[in-house]
Amino acid sequence: MNIAVGADHAGFQDKVKMVEYLRALGHQVTDCGTDSDASTDYPDYAANVARAVADGRCDQGLLVCGTGIGMSLAANKVPGIRAAACQSAEAAYFARAHNDANVLCVGSRLNSADQIRDMIDRWLATPFEGGRHARRVEKIAALECERTG
């Protein structure tokens, strides 16, 4: 699987760990920045990852900032993206299983590196359940169409 990964300055150190971990699992990683812990703007990196997923260059995306919230807000502005800010492996499971989320957003200020790895593992192992959840995901896509015309 090709996974786009991005972070702002607050998440840079965890991004480095995520990239190493994903590669060790055998995934191809597209590193969308940032490349240091110098202050930067999270929407830039959220857009890079979201666009890579939305246009099919990458299968899924992972974003890390201080809380995961800012990244999810920015990534969700890209049509076709369902970014979920998660603080636990259980939340990552439900984001995939019920919401077919294609970008996982985590917070380096809220989670340890081990917790982030647990979320990644659960995220990657969980398929979308479809069924009644597919109808709900279609409704999300319809809302997106209202916004984009």
Domain boundaries, the chain: 2-148
Q: Which of 65, 86, 133, 145 is catalytic?
A: 65
54-59 LR contacts (CB < 8 Å, sep 24+): 54/78, 54/79, 54/80, 54/81, 57/2, 57/4, 57/30, 58/2, 58/3, 58/4, 58/30, 59/1, 59/2, 59/3
What per-residue confidence (pLDDT) applies to 96? Answer: 98
What per-residue confidence (pLDDT) applies to 144? Answer: 84
- For residue 34, cis peptide bond before it (omega within 30 degrees of 0): yes
What per-residue confidence (pLDDT) applies to 65? Answer: 98
What per-residue confidence (pLDDT) applies to 149? Answer: 55
Is 65 among the residues known to form the active site? Answer: yes
**CA gap 103, 83 in Å, rounded:** 4
Q: What residue ranges of the chain have pLDDT lower than 70? A: 147-149
Is 9 among the residues known to form the active site? Answer: no
Does the pTM of the predicted model rise above 0.85? yes
Per-residue pLDDT tens over the stretch 92-129? 999 999 999 999 999 999 999 999 999 999 999 999 99
Q: Which of 98, 105, 133, 145 is catalytic?
A: 98
Place of tokens 């979920």: 84
Domain 2-148 has CATH 3.20.20.120: no
